[in-house]
Amino acid sequence: MAEIVAFLGMGGTIAGTAQSADDNVGYTAAQLGVQNLLQSVPGLTRILGARQALAEQVCQIDSKDLMHADWAALLGRLKHNLARPDVRAVVITHGTDTLEETAYFLSRALAPELLAHKPVVLTCAMRPASSLNPDGPGNLADAATLAVWPGARGVLVVCGGKIHGAAQVQKVHPYRVDAFDSGEAGPLGLVEEGRVRLLADFPRADHGQAAVDVEALQAKGWPRVEILLSHAGAGGGLLRALLREPEGEAPLRGIVVAGTGNGTIHREMDAGLLLAQARGVRVVRVSRCAYGQVVGDAPEAVAFSKYALSAVKARIALMLDIASEA
């Protein structure tokens, strides 16, 4: 039985096209199918060896517009493919804008045993497929290399020759092809000329972590968690508007506050957050700093729990926490 590497297409710039080959910004994302993308990868057959490529289009979207339902669809196809004994690995082509959120979501939502011996590799591009000098084919070649690399496991991201872990990876540049960074942790490794050079171990499956029942979440509705940013001149108006809950909006269940420095919150916001918390809204604070995480307990924020994650990932963590408690 030949092994399979499944390539799941989600859209993004990697599948984008522009009117002109010298236009790297005025393009439309998510135009080409994943099968089409595979045809542009130099040496894919050599990289895969005896393994077969299986292409599946899950979504075709600009990832800035990603919805929770798209995650549900992706998770369903991942569970199906990873459970197949003949599937060695899954590669996902995805837009860069919310790639770190999808990577983190998958690392939390997939059953640990599905990731214990198989990698899920997300890749992307900063330039459209129609570019004079596209980065997608090279990134996809690197993703395929990593997918079949001995010992590869867990949710991984490959872009610009660097391998990142799902918890650390962050898009840090709106234009550069090397657009991702893992902060203080650094990349897990590099893909160089068709070889993986590991700088840290592949992520270990957390066997204490329960898989998320996304079908139930979809049916029930994902808990609404919003993100606020504390800044100079911040007031309580936005928070008061959030708590008013307009007609037709799901009830607010959680707030992630990206605080200044060590997760501190403007005093004008603080009172509103305490009120929200008193009404049963879960409040979590993180730091808006690019590096590090909230350390110790700042006295003014003792009542709010803290996560060692970026605000967008903390939102996912809080949603999943609330869903698991409901």
Interface with ligand ASP by CB under 6 A: which residues? Answer: 12-13, 29, 62-64, 95-97, 124, 126
CB of 66 to ligand ASP, least distance (A): 8
Please indicate whether residue 13 is annotated as part of the active site.
yes
Q: Shortest distance, CB of residue 207 to ligand ASP, whole angstroms? A: 32
Query: Smallest gap, in angstroms, from Cβ of residue 8 to ligand ASP?
Result: 15
Q: How far is the CB of 60 from ligand ASP (least distance, A)?
A: 10
Output 29 or 217, the one with its CB closest to ligand ASP: 29
Minimum CB distance to ligand ASP smaller for 96 or for 182: 96
Nearer to ligand ASP, 31 or 35 (CB): 31
Between 29 and 320, name the residue whose CB sits nearer to ligand ASP: 29
Q: What are the residues facing 226 on neighbouring strands?
A: 255
Q: Which residue is nearest to ligand ASP (CB)?
A: 95
**CB 61 to ligand ASP: min, Å:** 7
Q: Under 8 Å CB-to-CB from 108, ≥6 apart: which residues?
A: 209, 212, 316, 317, 320
- Beta carbon nearer to ligand ASP, 115 or 122: 122
Listed residue (313, 259, 267) closest to 286, CA to CA? 259
- Catalytic residues, by residue number, are 13
